[in-house]
A and B are shown apart, each in its own frame.
Chain A
């Protein structure tokens, strides 16, 4: 008997294949690069991402949403090739729903993590050929164990737990150091920060990443363009409204010199 409630298996039985190993031909620029981050704060997990998609030197799009809600308690932030990343998110979204609806219970948090790893492993050939590398962050609230959790992955599917925080994408080296500094010597550790403080820090971190990484989009006030910031708490996933981001950015992030 096949594994019960496995949507991906069902898709494969119907002839579906996730990542075909196609070598990228020379001169073809594939959209990549990003900054995504997640850290635990007082009430749960904050997950944030910039909104730029680039291909080589070209900005493809400035309104990308890289922080995607998979279900009521989990979010996947994506870095890498968007085509593959969005497809993975779609598979995961359907898989978790399919499991819940067929098995009449939620998939456990560990089960969700396995599902992410499995997709990345299936995609290794495409990742190595250069056309489908994805290095996501998976964050959520484990309802069963009443704990917020963060995991990050390499393009081969290895899973690492981000005990306090995780970063991914081309702009991530810049902010990794800042997060370490903040968490160790800041006024309070990240996991003690109230919501507003956490959002301010996320905006500052992404602005710093954009300062040093051309492939990370910063805030564009004229276009009313702010990063995507989502909060996961016991109550579920919620996005920080643009109006809040705008007022916090103007009051606490813009340099007043």
Chain B
């Protein structure tokens, strides 16, 4: 069936389309550097999307929970064996992604007879000094990108680009935890709204002026609507946390303190 090269190319293209469809209903993930470290945020319906990988490494994921779990465990195994056999300083996000997880994801994606990983990953690495943080995003086909101040996961490249552009526009100088949380939550809402817009648009056809109406709804009202019955999940990599592990998931009372006032009641 796929013995001819062009058929393989066609199969891969079909697979790309299939995977793009799978992410349309997913919840975006936002990670950005702030003055005390890195903040990661997502909004989920129960299954967590943010995880601790190693002393200075945090993971955010989008996609199928079982695939995410599988890759999370291989990252954990890799990081801990490497950290034990060499040293914790040798466990870097870049090595984990480039020589560990990206080739595995790419191989699964291109083996058209087998199921691909329905997953997009974001690995945030806390630097020893401010400004030395690094962010890696791995796509479902194994391609990856590196950044230094922020990274996001969303259903499509376009949405991701808009989210990053919006963060960069509003990100200036030192940023407190409160400001970082606020920016991350608004970026999440922006991404989520853009994703839903692109899902809804084709079904409406070209005749309606609806998309503009959606944009007219203020972001805070949109958030209130989308976040109801879901959980805001937030984790930090804190540079000044005592001990070697720098990862800390925010407790629900801390999250409710950081949430905009009009959002507080329905979530907690």
A interface residues, Cβ below 8 angstroms from B: 7, 10-11, 14, 69, 71-72, 90-91, 94, 97-98, 100-102, 104, 236
Contacts and interface: CB of A to CB of B under 8 A. Distances in A.
A71 to B, nearest CB: 7
Given A101-B52, A102-B73, A94 B80 contact: yes
B48 A14 contact: no
Listed from nearest, the 4 A-B pairs whose CB atoms lie closest are A98-B80, A94-B84, A101-B52, A102-B76
A11 B73 contact: no
Contacts of B84: 7, 11, 90-91, 94
A50 B129 CA distance: 34
Q: Name the residue in B48, B51, B53, B81 with the highest tally of chain A Cβ atoms < 10 Å from its Cβ.
A: B81
B51 A101 contact: yes
A72 B243 contact: yes
A94 B243 contact: no
B80 A236 contact: no
Contacts of B242: 72, 236
Contacts of A10: 77, 80-81
Given A94-B84, A97-B80, A102-B73, A69 B243 contact: yes
Nearest to B83: A94
Contacts of B55: 97
Contacts, number: 35
B3 to A, nearest CB: 38
A interface SS class? helix
B81 A14 contact: yes
Contact of A98 (B48, B51, B76, B243): B76
Contacts of A90: 84
B48 A101 contact: no
28 contacts: A7-B84, A10-B77, A10-B80, A11-B84, A14-B81, A69-B243, A71-B243, A72-B242, A72-B243, A90-B84, A94-B80, A94-B83, A94-B84, A97-B80, A97-B245, A98-B80, A100-B52, A101-B51, A101-B52, A101-B53, A101-B54, A101-B76, A101-B80, A102-B73, A104-B48, A104-B51, A236-B242, A236-B243
A185 to B, nearest CB: 38
A7 B80 contact: yes
Contacts of A102: 73, 76
B82 to A, nearest CB: 11
A11 B77 CA distance: 10
Nearest to B249: A104
Given A10-B80, A11-B84, A97-B55, 14 more contacts: A7-B80, A10-B81, A11-B81, A69-B243, A72-B243, A94-B83, A97-B245, A98-B76, A101-B51, A101-B52, A101-B53, A101-B80, A104-B48, A104-B51
Contacts of B48: 104
Q: Name the residue in A11, A91, A102 with the highest tally of chain B Cβ atoms < 10 Å from its Cβ.
A: A102
Contacts of B245: 97
Contacts of A72: 242-243
Contacts of B81: 10-11, 14
A104 B73 CA distance: 12
Q: Name the residue in A14, A71, A98 with the highest tally of chain B Cβ atoms < 10 Å from its Cβ.
A: A98
Contacts of B52: 100-101
Nearest to A95: B80
Contacts of B73: 102
